Copies of this chain bind each other. A is one copy, B any other.
Amino acid sequence: MDLQTKLNNAGLRMTRPRQVVLSILEEAPVPLSPQSIHQHSIEAGQEIGLVSVYRTLEVLMELALVRKVHGADGCHGYVIASPGHHHHLVCHECDRAIEFSGKEDLANLMARIQKETGYIVDGHMLQLYGLCPECQSKMKARVNE
């Protein structure tokens, strides 16, 4: 299902800002902040009001088309999200983020915690951090200087 239909199904309209924000996030290899998205829109000759960026992100979050990526210490920004449930793996050097899935691997853990705590566990957020292949190469190159 495409953006147009997804929006219309929710009683929303397909507009230029929504297209632009989505396509900027689709291009970006790293999580972007609202300010950063706004900046990109200007550089692409498709300026969008900063306020609309905020509003659009809210909509896209509700449609689960984008997600927020967090760091242990702070929030990194928004990334495009493919359909379904999944997590993100973020490079702590360059912030490049990619998706991965692993729902099954958490099922045991979640069941155990539910039993131990008395909480009913019904959701989770998992993020992995590491060094992406590109940054690994750069690091090797630096050592060989």
A residues touching B (Cβ–Cβ < 8 Å)? 61, 67-68, 70-75, 89, 91-92, 98, 100, 102, 105-106, 108-110, 112-114, 116-133, 136
Partner of A102, one of B74, B112, B120, B131: B112
**Residues in B whose Cβ lies below 8 Å from that of A113:** 89, 100, 102, 128
Q: 25 pairs across A/B with beta carbons < 8 Å?
A: A67-B72, A68-B74, A70-B70, A71-B125, A75-B75, A89-B113, A89-B119, A98-B117, A100-B116, A100-B117, A105-B106, A106-B109, A118-B132, A118-B133, A118-B136, A119-B130, A120-B136, A121-B128, A122-B131, A123-B128, A124-B128, A125-B125, A125-B126, A125-B127, A125-B129
